[in-house]
Chain A
Amino acid sequence: MIRATLQALTSHWWRNPLQLFTLLAGLALATALWSGVQAINAEASASYDAAAATLGEGQFDQLTARDGGTIPQSTYVALRRAGWLVSPVIEGRLNGVRIVGLDPLTAPGGLGPVTVSDGVEIDTFLSGSGQVFGRAEVLNRLPDIDAERITAPDVAPGTVLTDIGLAQTLLETDGLTRMIVATEQPLGRPALQDIAPNLVRQVAQDGSDIGRLTDSFHLNLTAFGLLSFAVGIFIVNGAIGLAFEQRRPVVRTLRALGVPLRTLMALMAAELALMALVAGTIGVALGYVIASVLLPDVAATLQGLYGQTVAGTLQLRPVWWLSGLGIALGGTALAATAAFWRLAQMPLLAGGSRRALSMAAGRGARVQGGLAAVLLVLAAVLAFTADGLITGFALLGALLIGAALALPLILDRVLALAQSLSSGVRTQWFWADTRQQLPGLSLALAALLLAMAANVGVSTMVSSFRLTFVGFLDQRLASELYVTAEDAAQAQALTTYAAPRTDAILPIQSAMATVRDLPTEVFGARIGPTYTDNWTFLSAGPDPWQQVSDGTGILINEQLARRTGLAMNDMVPVGDSSFAVAGIYGDYGNPIGQAILSETVFAALYPDVIALRFGLRLPPDEVSDFRAALTRNVGIPDGAMINQAGIKQFSLDVFNRTFTVTTALNVLTLAVAGFAILMSLLTLAALRVPQLAPAWAMGMTRRSLGAIELIRAVMLAVFTAAVALPLGLALAWALLAVVNVAAFGWKLPMFLFPADYLRLGVFALGAAGLAALWPAWRLARTPPAALLQVFSNER
């Protein structure tokens, strides 16, 4: 019996291969977008984790030389002998590979490729020709060395780990780069200044600062993944619903023949689960393709934005397969619940005829409208009260779902209004018929709405970020040339040489301080037109730079202001002195607090800090010659100088890459939405023949009926776009003003990009029109016999 029942059920798919395709393709696309985005995120996170785990960055305090140079090994021994539990690290580059040397005997637990408890391995690591650990492609880039190469995928990209002794040999140095300070220290240690006055302690950055920064980017991607998946689920829901509708006669017949409802439903569930698995597998594979195409750009973006190295190649992680298949199965179950519910409720012999897609049931519409209203009100309340990531996401969710639920009702009202305003039979029929079709199309239109809103929202966010950041770069990178001296002597030579030849020399010097428990980098600025002319403030007194120059004022970044609650004119203690907040400036992408004092005040507070970096102001066309002259006369290597234009260009490149990722995802989401429209229209086309036949019988040509179909699709897309634009802007606002502040501590100003929205609108209409073209063409080519048959079937 089961076999015969299955045969009867599956015969439906043989007769409707297109529906089968819709179901599989929708689910596969949804899974692909979801798992692709997850794959990118997972790969990036794995890279940070590897970096953090192997280098102890973030989790432990670090000691570095005050002048940024190397630390003599004797300082390390002196610290250890004084009771400081520090572990030496040496870093350098060899053939472009970052060599990191660690001492496994003193490294805090969990750092380094081998630990004391690992057994024999440490012996080889420490002695003989040693070992280097790294990813295969990185190991291959190393020059010819004796050490044993060990492939270790967990090591940060572009990096090899080895013993500190071997690293010193490879890098031809006898100093250290930094030291890791163990969390637990013994009693009775002397102060750091007493042992190593030339070292500064950098407080561990809470472990998650790297994460917090890059999370901003991942947030975009995740939002995209989720929205794409939602769009995909709309399609699947539509396809499953339709398949169940169409199989009602089969179900009735089978049940009449004695197949228990339970068996029938179990078989249909098994059938769906199988399809979900097939589609899920295809989807994960597709997602892998998407991810591997996009990952190099994502890697480049993260590297450029945050200095995070992410491997450009993808590793196939089993967790994707699981999560991809899980999401496909879960999505299918979600989409099929309603269909199963209806099937279970169906009286034994009823439902033999296909249920015409009904007019929106009054009660159902009221429920839906009420739910939408509740969600939108909730979103409005959250917009004013949300102060954390969770509430931020709740706001996004309420906004999106509320809008999707409200869409059919809004469209219905708009159509009803148009109907009442129109005159003439044909126009009135057009509006009425459109309203009648709306329930069947509403899922597809909701998908389109979400896709467009996501596009508007995310592109507004990314573009706003770009504009803000470019302005920020203009402000921060005002100098034409940036030069780093190796030591104090070279810095002196540089300033002596450059003073008569440039318009201004701006030392870049900083020291770490703690302001209200927040680690803060204090800068000493040589105040001049470069600062007074270029800097813009989020809030500032009448003449902030004058106050700083007087030694009474301090400028602080937004992060410091937000996290410590400092406001204008509050007193900020730095060292032994206090300064009034004279201005607050935007400092995008910086995880820690920052403050600016005048050069004189800074020098009095931190007499030991010597400026080694300088910004030089000179006419842009003289930069190249001057750069060459610096190398020739002061001995500064070319690599220690950066052309401002170069930095800016690089930053813009980064954003262009971000746009590549964003655009690719935009196109994919729109394609999915277009696909949803196509499928809905194709489905409706067959069901609507009985409704169109009378219009044809009364004299409308098939051609004009087809044209009307096309116009209707485009018109509905226009209406949807009109709703999507404000929704997208609301989404962007929520992302920039709520989620970003909660996640990263700064608010991004929002800019509008009408040309982008227009282009997007055209794309969306194009997608809708394209999707409607084939159904319309099919309608125009429907044989008159098929239309006539409607009337005979009516009997």
Chain B
Amino acid sequence: MNVKILILCLLPMTAMAQGFAGLGRDAQGFAVPQPDPQFSFPADHGAHPDYRIEWWYLTANMTGPDGTPYGLQWTLFRSAMAPETRDGWDDPQLWMGHAAVTTPDAHFVTERLARGGIGQAGVIADPFTAWIDDWQMTGIDDARLTASGPNFAYDVDLTATGPLVRQGDNGYSVKSAAGQASYYYSQPFYELTGTLTLPTGDVPITGTAWLDREWSSQPLADTQTGWDWFSLSFDTGDKLMGFQLRQTDGEDFTYATWITADGTPTPFQDGALRAIPLDNTEVAGRSVPTTWRVTLPDRGVDVTVTAINPLAWMDTSVPYWEGPVTVSGSHTGQGYLEMTGYE
């Protein structure tokens, strides 16, 4: 996910050559994901500076004491200008953080940028710490997550109640028919408690959260214009991660992972998942689909996904839509929706 954002926002990507030069390396010397990855934890929770882009992406669905639904986003992006890391300002690793809180009628967003090499931002695998400025995520199984903006802040504790889940083919996630791919695993089983600080005051919240970890060097095909990504948690305890990459030829490339309540993933290749916009919302001067019909016939899924706040626009360096959703239809539940590339 967020590939488009990174391409546009963390600029080295714009000059990126997609060709391969030697086994597992591209023209600039970046490592390229290979099938059948061998992840090693906790090392792979950390940064992979020889890959061009990487993220630690956490979303949460929460409720306040009065039952009001809230959404929360915490993302740390890494983008490399060269496949290495150095001490000091000339470190080619750049970092970007996005934090947001969504309520049914408000959406708070803020962004941070930093360079690696000086300690302002980075990720340490063990003990796990991912940070940019004062925002940080410490720990994986038992984690604390903080962020602050000019008009909001949050401080939440996360507890993993299930295993890490490998997306795609054992963690190798193909992104196009041409073979673009990334390494991708998730922790979709977080229980969350904590406090949101909003302009109206502090709100104690509880809920669930979903962490995505992904890194790659050549994520999107030239013909792919944007991205609709769903992470849905059903009341049955099953979960569905699905995305469709919109292509210039009108065809979409889709992919889905069905995750059972015990954390067993089943991948579904291109075409199994269908996502059809049902209703659009005018937001930030453009029309964005905020109600979807999502189907995965193999699992009997035919649901309507509705944005809790259709105006959850991320007004960041490169803007996109990201917010909490409710699920109804064949399955009920909640989740997060991210949409990029709506110009």
Q: Which of B130-151 contact A (CB under 8 A)?
A: 131, 133-134, 148-151
Q: Is the CB of B148 within 8 A of A120?
A: no
> Shortest distance in angstroms between B56's beta carbon and chain A's nearest beta carbon?
17
Nearest to B88 among chain A residues (CB) is A165
CA distance A366 to B134 in the complex (A): 77
Nearest to A130 among chain B residues (CB) is B90
For residue A54, CB closer than 8 A to chain B, the reply is: no
From the candidates A74, A85, A116, A163, name the one contacting B89 in the complex (CB within 8 A). A163
> Shortest distance in angstroms between A425's beta carbon and chain B's nearest beta carbon?
89
Q: Is the CB of A185 within 8 A of B150?
A: yes
Q: Is the CB of A187 within 8 A of B114?
A: no
Residues from chain A with Cβ under 8 Å of B120 in the complex: 76-77, 80-81
For residue A127, CB closer than 8 A to chain B, the reply is: yes
Nearest to B133 among chain A residues (CB) is A80
> Shortest distance in angstroms between A405's beta carbon and chain B's nearest beta carbon?
57
Q: Map CB proximity to B onto A97-109 as digits: 1 under 8 Å, 0 otherwise.
A: 0000001011000
Q: Is the CB of B113 within 8 A of A184?
A: no
Residues from chain B with Cβ under 8 Å of A123 in the complex: 11-12, 15, 81
Q: Is the CB of B119 within 8 A of A188?
A: no
For residue A126, CB closer than 8 A to chain B, the reply is: yes
For residue B159, CB closer than 8 A to chain A, the reply is: no
For residue B258, CB closer than 8 A to chain A, the reply is: no
CA distance A76 to B88 in the complex (A): 13
Q: Is the CB of A120 within 8 A of B90?
A: no
Residues from chain A with Cβ under 8 Å of B134 in the complex: 80-83, 186, 189
Q: Which of B89-130 contact A (CB under 8 A)?
A: 89-90, 92, 94, 110, 113-115, 118-120
CA distance A579 to B114 in the complex (A): 46
Q: A81 and B197 in contact (CB under 8 A), knowing A165-B89, A186-B148?
A: no
CA distance A76 to B118 in the complex (A): 10
Nearest to A119 among chain B residues (CB) is B11
Q: A187 and B148 in contact (CB under 8 A), knowing A80-B134, A120-B11?
A: yes
Number of cross-chain contacts by CB at 8 Å: 79
Q: Is the CB of A188 within 8 A of B148?
A: yes
Residues from chain B with Cβ under 8 Å of A81 in the complex: 119-120, 131, 133-134
For residue A59, CB closer than 8 A to chain B, the reply is: no
Q: Map CB proximity to B onto A177-189 as digits: 1 under 8 Å, 0 otherwise.
A: 0000000111111
For residue A117, CB closer than 8 A to chain B, the reply is: yes
Nearest to B12 among chain A residues (CB) is A123
CA distance A382 to B212 in the complex (A): 72
Q: A105 and B115 in contact (CB under 8 A), knowing A81-B131, A119-B11, A168-B89?
A: yes
CA distance A163 to B115 in the complex (A): 12
Q: A126 and B150 in contact (CB under 8 A), knowing A81-B131, A168-B89?
A: no
Q: Map CB proximity to B onto A339-350 as digits: 1 under 8 Å, 0 otherwise.
A: 000000000000
> Shortest distance in angstroms between A697's beta carbon and chain B's nearest beta carbon?
88
CA distance A119 to B318 in the complex (A): 11
Q: Map CB proximity to B onto A71-88 as digits: 1 under 8 Å, 0 otherwise.
A: 001101100111101000
For residue B38, CB closer than 8 A to chain A, the reply is: no
CA distance A77 to B91 in the complex (A): 15
From the candidates B12, B90, B115, B150, name the one contacting A186 in the complex (CB within 8 A). B150
> Shortest distance in angstroms between B201's beta carbon and chain A's nearest beta carbon?
12
CA distance A164 to B118 in the complex (A): 12
For residue A254, CB closer than 8 A to chain B, the reply is: no
Q: A187 and B197 in contact (CB under 8 A), knowing A106-B114, A127-B92?
A: yes
Q: Is the CB of B114 within 8 A of A80?
A: yes
CA distance A82 to B134 in the complex (A): 5
> Shortest distance in angstroms between B321's beta carbon and chain A's nearest beta carbon?
19
Nearest to B318 among chain A residues (CB) is A117
Residues from chain B with Cβ under 8 Å of A165 in the complex: 88-90
For residue A9, CB closer than 8 A to chain B, the reply is: no
CA distance A457 to B212 in the complex (A): 74
Residues from chain B with Cβ under 8 Å of A127 in the complex: 81-82, 90, 92
> Shortest distance in angstroms between B284's beta carbon and chain A's nearest beta carbon?
15
Q: A188 and B197 in contact (CB under 8 A), knowing A105-B94, A119-B11?
A: yes
Residues from chain B with Cβ under 8 Å of A76 in the complex: 118, 120
For residue B320, CB closer than 8 A to chain A, the reply is: no
For residue A122, CB closer than 8 A to chain B, the reply is: yes
Residues from chain B with Cβ under 8 Å of A168 in the complex: 88-89
For residue B275, CB closer than 8 A to chain A, the reply is: no
Q: Is the CB of B11 within 8 A of A187?
A: no
Residues from chain A with Cβ under 8 Å of B281 in the complex: none
Residues from chain B with Cβ under 8 Å of A83 in the complex: 133-134, 148
From the candidates B14, B92, B131, name the one contacting A119 in the complex (CB within 8 A). B14
Q: Map CB proximity to A onto B64-95 as digits: 1 under 8 Å, 0 otherwise.
A: 00000000000000000110000011101010
Nearest to B197 among chain A residues (CB) is A187
For residue B152, CB closer than 8 A to chain A, the reply is: yes
> Shortest distance in angstroms between B131's beta carbon and chain A's nearest beta carbon?
7
Nearest to A116 among chain B residues (CB) is B317
Q: Is the CB of A187 within 8 A of B152?
A: yes
Residues from chain A with Cβ under 8 Å of B131 in the complex: 81
For residue B327, CB closer than 8 A to chain A, the reply is: no
Nearest to B113 among chain A residues (CB) is A105
Q: Is the CB of A186 within 8 A of B119?
A: no
CA distance A80 to B136 in the complex (A): 12
> Shortest distance in angstroms between A192's beta carbon and chain B's nearest beta carbon?
14
Q: A126 and B94 in contact (CB under 8 A), knowing A82-B134, A103-B115?
A: yes
Q: A164 and B197 in contact (CB under 8 A), knowing A77-B119, A126-B81?
A: no
Q: Is the CB of B89 within 8 A of A186?
A: no
From the candidates A77, A116, A186, name the one contacting B118 in the complex (CB within 8 A). A77
CA distance A418 to B153 in the complex (A): 87
CA distance A152 to B113 in the complex (A): 25
B11, B114, B153 pick with most chain A CB within 10 angstroms: B11
Residues from chain A with Cβ under 8 Å of B119 in the complex: 74, 77, 81
Nearest to A186 among chain B residues (CB) is B148
Q: Is the CB of B113 within 8 A of A116?
A: yes
Q: Map CB proximity to A onto B240-271 as digits: 1 under 8 Å, 0 otherwise.
A: 00000000000000000000000000000000
> Shortest distance in angstroms between B314's beta carbon and chain A's nearest beta carbon?
15
Nearest to A127 among chain B residues (CB) is B81
CA distance A167 to B118 in the complex (A): 15
Residues from chain B with Cβ under 8 Å of A85 in the complex: 133
From the candidates B9, B15, B115, B153, name the one contacting A126 in the complex (CB within 8 A). B115
Residues from chain B with Cβ under 8 Å of A117 in the complex: 317
> Shortest distance in angstroms between A124's beta carbon and chain B's nearest beta carbon?
9
Q: Which of A537-573 contact B (CB under 8 A)?
A: none
Q: Map CB proximity to A onto B36-63 as digits: 1 under 8 Å, 0 otherwise.
A: 0000000000000000000000000000
CA distance A648 to B82 in the complex (A): 55
CA distance A82 to B119 in the complex (A): 12
> Shortest distance in angstroms between A219's beta carbon and chain B's nearest beta carbon?
39
Q: Is the CB of B153 within 8 A of A187?
A: yes
> Shortest distance in angstroms between B240's beta carbon and chain A's nearest beta carbon?
34
Residues from chain A with Cβ under 8 Å of B152 in the complex: 187
Q: Is the CB of A164 within 8 A of B89?
A: yes
> Shortest distance in angstroms between A114's beta carbon and chain B's nearest beta carbon?
10
> Shortest distance in angstroms between A311's beta carbon and chain B's nearest beta carbon?
30
CA distance A74 to B134 in the complex (A): 14
CA distance A186 to B101 in the complex (A): 14
Shortest Cβ-Cβ A-B pairs, 4 listed:
A165-B89, A83-B134, A186-B148, A105-B113
Q: A77-B119, A81-B119, A119-B14 are in contact. List 19 more A-B contacts (CB 8 A).
A: A81-B131, A81-B133, A85-B133, A103-B115, A105-B115, A116-B9, A119-B11, A123-B81, A126-B94, A126-B115, A127-B81, A165-B90, A168-B89, A186-B134, A186-B150, A187-B197, A188-B148, A188-B153, A188-B197
> Which B residues have a C-beta under 8 Å from some C-beta of A?
9, 11-12, 14-15, 81-82, 88-90, 92, 94, 110, 113-115, 118-120, 131, 133-134, 148-153, 197, 317
List 25 contacting pairs A-B, 8 Å CB cutoff, sorted by A.
Answer: A76-B118, A77-B118, A77-B120, A80-B120, A80-B134, A81-B119, A81-B134, A83-B134, A83-B148, A103-B115, A105-B94, A105-B115, A106-B113, A116-B11, A119-B14, A120-B14, A122-B11, A123-B15, A123-B81, A126-B115, A184-B150, A186-B110, A186-B149, A188-B148, A189-B134
